[in-house]
Amino acid sequence: MVLSCRNIRKVFGDHVVLDDLSLDVGEHEVVALIGASGSGKSTLLRCVNLLAEIDDGTIHLDGDEITDPRVNPDLVRQRIGLVFQSYNLFPHMTVLDNITLAPTRVHKRAAAEARETAMAWLGRVGLADKAKAYPDRLSGGQQQRVAIVRALVNNPRLLLLDEVTSALDPELVGEVLSMIRDLKGEGMTMVLATHEMGFAKQVADRVAFLDAGRVLEQGPPEQVLGDPTEARTRQFLARII
Ligand code: ADP
Ligand code: MG
């Protein structure tokens, strides 16, 4: 397993947000997290990236327990990329500087090597000509693709995508989804929270439906989206489709 979440509990005050949640993700697997707003999708992704601390349970990455308090979170985050809904590029820095900031400053990797990797990725996603541009010269879709490239330059074992198309105008969604599809084609292991059921159906190997901080049901997209077992899943799908 690349990722193994075991009996995770996360509370905010007296609100149980993740409740005995377990989820495994195998190598090259793409898992789509679906569920109502507030069901815990973002919290789960943040816990996996150690941006939020779990109250109980364990998370393993490639067999290493990353929730062990002795683990350095910065080292874990080099192995896990996370991209949020809003792309959060630094406006005063060029595309290339945005991408190479983390590898050169945080991970002390040689700047030249970081630039080379960044340019290679930009070329692969058709954005090489934007390397010297500032984010405000790019469309929302291009900015989000740059944010994904920024998460890829460390060669992560796992890429977490949290509603990465939700803030985009509808006509810009396609280019980001197509990039994610390409990453799947290259074997990237991904967990993505999404409201795009059509996309989940196309790209996910497995869909996990979160309800009140638990994985209520999971399985192949055709089954979970087309013929769900649980009444709660059916209700959710009826509301959003
Ligand atoms: P989703 O991404 O599925 O919409 P979230 O993980 O964002 O769900 O939120 C799950 C629940 O946790 C919500 O009720 C939300 O209000 C609560 N929550 C999330 N982050 C915090 C926080 N930092 N402090 C308090 N409550 C939070
Ligand atoms: Mg969310």
- Tell me the C-alpha to C-alpha distance, in Å, between residue 31 and each of 16, 79, 100, 125: 23, 18, 28, 22
Distance between CA atoms of 193 and 208, rounded to whole angstroms?
A: 9
Separation of CA 16 from chain center: 22
User: In whole numbers, what is the pLDDT of the chain averaged over residues?
Assistant: 94
Vertex 177 angle, CA 174 and 183, to 5° = 140
- pLDDT tier, 110 (very low <50, low <70, confident <90, very high otherwise): confident
- Whether the CB-CB separation of 2 and 158 falls below 8 Å is answered with yes
Max distance between CA atoms of the chain, in angstroms, equals: 54
- How many C-beta atoms surround the C-beta of residue 204 within 10 A? 25
For the record, the structure tokens of 44 come out as: 């789960």
Q: State mean pLDDT over 22-38.
A: 97
Given this model, what pLDDT does residue 88 score? Answer: 84
Query: Which one, of 227, 210, 223, lies nearest residue 41 by Cα?
Result: 210
Residue with structure tokens 């996360």? 10
Nearest CA to ligand 1 atom 9: 38
Distance, in Å, from the CA atom of 173 to the CA atom of 161, rounded to the nearest integer, reads: 14
Residue 105 — very low, low, confident or very high, per pLDDT cuts 50/70/90?
A: low
Q: Which of 123, 127, 47 is nearest to 94 (CA)?
A: 127
Position 127 scores a pLDDT of: 95
Q: Which atom of ligand 1 is nearest to the CA of 37?
A: 4
Residue 52 φ then ψ, to 5°? -130, 145
241 pLDDT higher than 90 = no
- The ligand placed nearest to the CA atom of residue 43 is 1
* pLDDT tens readout for residues 151-165: 998 889 999 999 999
Q: How confident is the model at residue 104 (pLDDT cuts 50, 70, 90)?
A: low
Does the global pTM surpass 0.90? yes
- Angle (CA) 157 159 161, round 5°: 170
Whether the per-residue pLDDT at 230 is higher than 70: the answer is yes
Locus of tokens 């109980």: 56
pLDDT in tens, 163-175: 999 989 999 999 9
Residue among 17, 47, 164, 195 to mutate when testing ligand 1 (max atoms within 8 A of CB): 17
Q: Is 85 helix (H, G, I), strand (E, B) or coil?
A: coil
Distance 32 CA to ligand 1 centre (A): 18
The answer, yes or no, to whether ipTM is higher than 0.95 is yes
Name the residue with the closest Cα to ligand 1, atom 5: 40
Residues present in the chain in total: 241
**Ligand 1 centroid distance, CA of 133 (Å):** 35
